[in-house]
Structure 1
């Protein structure tokens, strides 16, 4: 299946570079590009991308607000991959809270960008456990959650926070894959999380998973 991608960045040079990198792959099609978050929603409605590669800092509407607007759309909506520059930690964290499915530094190698688009297109979250842990630590870990997790759910959550896939969790805990999926679904519900990224953020902020 071809992954349809929309590029959102106010720098034409960045968009051109991303188009060259992504468009050279047979399984990826860049269906459009826009220069500001203000026009992301109508562009998505017209172009129907699977993945939006989103810059954070744009002159009219930033990537955080644009991501939030996409998440308010009815239905599944596109996946959002945030591209960041050094020093954008606070904005990255806000974007993840807004519903972004992962983040990648703009200095990433072409192959890493291609892999990231494929990962989020598959419905997975692009997690960098050490980075998310550091971001959560800078936010103060002040989120209060009243949830009761079983011992097994706590084990699964810890491994999710370490970036393990469902298959890796199943192997490590000697569980069936479907059992792990059931635990993950239960965790998302209990943590009021849209996806794994949101669940891991909530776990760090609430102290369910230690930052150290």
Structure 2
């Protein structure tokens, strides 16, 4: 699935602070930032985060091709820099990791739709009813639902509805997450923290019954 450098730029703007370039990036036009001094960059970034950190993520109605998503393979950056940049333009390792994360969630959504949710009367609830989904609204959840529920229009107030589990199920989910992390996959430790808190409640209840 060929993507232009404009697509990577769009991802970068979603995941990072807009308009501030790194002080050590001499390839950027100095008119973007009046000075390439590190202090100027830090102030610009801080101002940006203060303005946007509490803003709700605005979802985009994305159309994806599940066959092309399935074919996407994330390559080790250090051995494939030149071929990756030929394909995607002027990207760095962080940009590429973002793309890989997004593609992995799109792929998970496509598989969930095919295996469980294609004819579900409540498509979003079916998509959310998985042992692990993105912790909060954002580009990854947006991409996941684009794969799982392509006709669902994601609204700004929509958020992931995490699977409710009994105490035995929580233990199983924690084991899956820790095993997945041990294999080197990225997991959201906020969700792992939530599940561990649920486990502590289960343990407390078992001791007090």
TM-score by length of 1: 0.28
More helix by share: 2
Larger Rg, first or second structure (1 or 2): 2
More strand by share: 1
